[in-house]
Homo-oligomer: A and B are copies of this chain.
């Protein structure tokens, strides 16, 4: 295996600096209001240089988004995989995201806006984005189905359950980031996990 040519190292270096900068700038201003000039300045390069690595403003935006999602996805999968029960899997799922976005607030701004955009204008999103996002849903769905089969929880629509977990996760993260002082992550996560867990696991019919 040839060691990377100088240019590969350089490329990796620039790419990383540019994506960092992009995340900050898009996170601060949103896609439209962000400018290539600002990203370049933030990354410490000239404007033209951005175009040596990315074809367009959109494309650096997608790249930043994709990288963040991929990283988040990787972390999530790693931690969820270790969970022995669905309960723990859900807890790890939510906790991973809460912790990740606590670290990367800027990225959350991009992520959530894009997610809303997706929800709302499916035709627009980048082809790469939806699958990455859907994989999460499918992962949860599979876990839920397995738990049903194991008798851990009652028979629920696995797809809807997965959706609900995702929705509640987003809600927790959103509200955390809106507050100036953030509560301990574990406490907040446990509360929402408790809610969803009762929702999934309680059997029989409840008095309304």
Contact = CB atoms under 8 A, between A and B. Distances in A.
Tally of this chain's copies = 4
Given A109-B121, A160-B191, A206 B199 contact: no
A198 B195 CA distance: 8
Given A156-B195, A160-B192, A174 B120 contact: yes
Nearest to A193: B208
Contact of A199 (B32, B118, B175, B198): B198
- How large, as a class, is the contact surface on chain A? 35 or more
Contacts of A174: 119-120
Nearest to A169: B167
Interface in A135-156: 156
A196 interface: yes
A56 interface: no
A179 to B, nearest CB: 9
Interface string A28-42: 101111000000000
Contact of A195 (B115, B119, B199): B199
Contact of A168 (B167, B172, B200): B167
A112 B201 CA distance: 30
A164 B195 contact: yes
Given A113-B113, A202-B198, A208 B119 contact: no
A76 B196 CA distance: 25
B177 A119 contact: yes
A107 to B, nearest CB: 11
25 contacts: A30-B32, A32-B33, A88-B208, A108-B120, A109-B120, A112-B120, A113-B113, A113-B120, A115-B116, A119-B174, A119-B178, A120-B174, A160-B188, A160-B195, A167-B168, A167-B170, A168-B168, A195-B200, A197-B199, A197-B206, A198-B198, A198-B200, A199-B202, A201-B208, A202-B206
